Chain A
């Protein structure tokens, strides 16, 4: 019975974490920091999945968290490879320098 009454405050924590991550994506200019803020938002969604799984008494939320984790690992590997390639081309990690497709 321990975790059941924690579901509602966990959802609030998830909202706070997601907002912090979203604001970080807007405010930070280093590519890697922005990437870490995206990971923060993914974790907030994971927390919401686990909280809803607990509140509804079904296990499906945890299975979905498993898939989110897998996709996050793949995304981190490819994303960091792209960052390395971008650094090689531009010699900087500042987001303002990546404006090739900017109108």
Chain B
């Protein structure tokens, strides 16, 4: 049952990711990306990490994609026009390079997966939280709060323009 669900959501994820790339209109790309992120969240859940699955929906599909769509509406983005010189050749080269990249990463991953998965995996939110606030990650966690504050100030300063 899990396997069927996994392959279903994997197919939805890859298919909508292809739509994101293949679509000429950025708004349609954004909606396809929302589908990708939501089905990826289901994959995270199937892999035994409910905390990350919820975070994916709340942060990515909820916050980041709303920001994207807001900017798309604000700037009134048009369809991308076709026709750069040698566009067909570049597409072919890009596709070929992508195939090489996929083959290389696939070969690396296929070479190093032999160990049997250990039993007793606890991916619950409480376990993740105890790990997050343990001395190993506590300072990194506090550093991210400074990062977010900096990003907040930077985004306001950049988008305001000089007046």
Contacts and interface: CB of A to CB of B under 8 A. Distances in A.
Contact of B121 (A18, A57, A87): A57
Interface of B: 2-3, 6-7, 10, 13-14, 17-18, 20-21, 23, 26, 29-30, 33, 36-37, 40, 43-44, 46-49, 51-52, 55-56, 59-60, 63-64, 67-68, 71-72, 74-75, 77, 80, 84, 90-91, 94-95, 97-99, 101-102, 105-106, 109, 113, 115, 117-123, 127-128, 131-132, 137, 140, 144, 147-148, 150-152, 154-159, 161
Given A59-B122, A69-B60, 9 more contacts: A12-B106, A17-B14, A17-B17, A21-B21, A26-B98, A30-B77, A62-B52, A70-B147, A80-B67
A78 B29 CA distance: 20
Contacts of A70: 144, 147-148
Which DSSP category, helix, strand, loop or mixed, fits chain A's interface? helix
A26 B117 CA distance: 37
A88 B128 CA distance: 43
Given A70-B148, A73-B64, A7 B59 contact: no
A35 B68 CA distance: 9
Interface string A32-55: 110111011001001100110111
Which DSSP category, helix, strand, loop or mixed, fits chain B's interface? helix
A19 B141 CA distance: 30
Contacts of A101: none
Contacts of B7: 9
B98 A22 contact: yes
Contact of A29 (B14, B84, B97, B137): B84
A71 B147 contact: yes
Interface residues of A, number: 73
Given A2-B48, A33-B80, A54-B48, A74 B10 contact: no
B154 A81 contact: yes
A69 B8 CA distance: 25
Contacts of B48: 2-4, 54
Contacts of B60: 39, 43, 69, 72
Contact of A62 (B51, B67, B84, B152): B51
Contacts of B128: 59, 62-63, 66
A77 B67 contact: yes
12 contacts: A12-B109, A15-B109, A23-B94, A27-B91, A32-B29, A36-B68, A40-B20, A59-B123, A59-B131, A62-B131, A77-B151, A93-B77
